[in-house]
Amino acid sequence: MKKAKKKKIIYIILAIIILEAAVSVGLNYELQIGRVDGKFVVRNVKSKESIKERIDEEFQSDTIVKIAGRFPVNWNVIKVILAVDLLIILFGFFVYKNVKLIPTKIQIIAEDLYTFFRTIVTDTIGEEKVHFTPYIATIFIFIELCNIIGLIPIPGNMEPTRNLNVTLGLGTMAIVLVHFFAIKEKGLFPYLKEFAEPVFLIAPINIISEFGNLISISFRLFGNILGGAIIILVISNLTRYILLPVGLNMFFGIFIGTIQAFVFTMLVLSYTAVAIK
Amino acid sequence: MEITGVEIIRAAALLGAGICMGFGAIGPGIGEGFVGGKACEGIARAPENSGLLTRTMLVGQAVSESTGIYSLVIALLLIFAV
């Protein structure tokens, strides 16, 4: 009985998808349902803005606002980042306000996250470097929230990681901190000596490879999130925004977002581990 | 209708973007599949290490994905900057 019901639902979904594919005539059209001139119509009409303009919108065009008349910021991105920051601060505040021996629900989440990252850090860097845990966990929570905040359907609410400036900033912060920790751990001269490791001639290549790390770590996050957004836009446009975009948003928003946040964190951790060992 | 030089350049850029993305996706595809398969073998052999293996697999896949991301960047540059 239950199995038959499930099969029925799957058939209905398949039928809807096939119907969508049949009624969609092109990328630059959209479905019109409703009363026009007293008649009920379901038809494809040419949309007001073409698909190219919509894809251009996905790139988060800059709206420069000057703070205090001097510092230009991109308000489209900054407002979402501030919202994410506010969420993190509120989370920390509510966890810290009542820490109990018998944990509440929110405390269990925080403890689980912290324990997970402490295990990873102690596995990768070592038991005596456990003080790296807050830094690593904060990177993960921030990027994760940035990736999944785009699921909330408010106009203009886009993932901040879709903007290259944000991911380049995060990558630069991580790489600079890696070198800072390396100097702190080894001293300046042994650190500089490592660049000329097998032979002195190879030093420029080593320096360029550090920039390669920065480029690859930030472009990976940016490319995954932006690529997902464009795929969601194009496929939703083809299926006239019926049913399929929900699954696509789940996949690209939650699954890919979490994986990429975790990968960014793990790569920062491995760079740090290589640098300070 | 006469085809001008600008249009030829535009067409070449779009064609280049498609070729770049298509060939650039071959390497990461093979590499990620290889990493995933090996991780499956490892987990089948030692199920108690599955957490560590999954983590290592994800990082390895991310690193082998780099070239695909580079080709995506080149394709975006060709489409929107040329």
pLDDT digits (tens, 9 = 90+) for A66-97: 877 777 788 888 888 999 999 999 998 988 88
Residues in chain B within 8 Å Cβ distance of A259: 58
Q: How many domains does chain B have?
A: 1
Given a cut of 90, whether residue B69 has pLDDT beyond it is no
Residue B9 in any domain: the answer is no
Residues in chain B within 8 Å Cβ distance of A59: 80
Q: pLDDT: is A137 or A239 the higher one?
A: A137
CA distance A226 to A246: 17
Residue among B49, B54, B66, B80 with most chain A CBs within 10 A, to mutate: B66
Residue ranges of the domains in chain A? 1-48, 50-276
Q: pLDDT: is A215 or A156 the higher one?
A: A215
pTM for this model (two decimals):
0.84
If you search the block for the tokens 């969601």, which residue do you land on?
A: A232
Which residues neighbour A204 within 8 Å (Cβ) at sequence distance 6 or greater? Answer: none
The minimal CB distance from B59 to the residues A123, A224, A267 is found for: A267
Residue among B10, B52, B53, B55 with most chain A CBs within 10 A, to mutate: B55
Chain B interface, Cβ < 8 Å to A: 52, 55, 58-59, 62-63, 65-66, 69-70, 72-73, 80
Given a cut of 70, whether residue A60 has pLDDT beyond it is no
Given a cut of 90, whether residue A42 has pLDDT beyond it is no
CATH, residue B23: 1.20.20.10
- Structure confidence at residue A244 (pLDDT): 80
A264: Cα within 13 Å, side-chain hemisphere:
38
Which residues neighbour A32 within 8 Å (Cβ) at sequence distance 6 or greater? Answer: A41, A42, A43, A44, A45
* Tokens coding A13: 């979904």
Size of interface A-B (CB pairs under 8 A): 32
- Residue A118 touches partner B, C-beta closer than 8 Å: no
Query: Is there a contact between A224 and B52 if contact means CB atoms under 8 Å apart?
Result: no
CA proximity to A161, closest of A57, A50, A60, A21: A60
Residue A79 phi/psi, 5-degree rounding, is -65, -40
Q: Are A77 and A165 in contact (CB under 8 A)?
A: yes
CA proximity to A271, closest of A196, A177, A186: A177
Residues in chain B within 8 Å Cβ distance of A262: 58
Query: Is there a contact between A266 and B59 if contact means CB atoms under 8 Å apart?
Result: yes
CA proximity to A184, closest of A134, A129, A135: A129
Q: Which residue of B has its CA nearest to A227?
A: B72
- Structure confidence at residue A1 (pLDDT): 61
Q: H or E segment at A39?
A: strand A39-46
Residue B35 in any domain: the answer is yes
Query: Is there a contact between A223 and B52 if contact means CB atoms under 8 Å apart?
Result: no
Query: Is there a contact between B69 and A120 if contact means CB atoms under 8 Å apart?
Result: no
Given a cut of 80, whether residue A228 has pLDDT beyond it is yes
Residue B6 in any domain: the answer is no
Query: Is there a contact between A266 and B55 if contact means CB atoms under 8 Å apart?
Result: yes
Q: Are A223 and B77 in contact (CB under 8 A)?
A: no
Residue A72 phi/psi, 5-degree rounding, is -75, 130
- Owning domain of residue B21: 14-80
- Structure confidence at residue B35 (pLDDT): 93
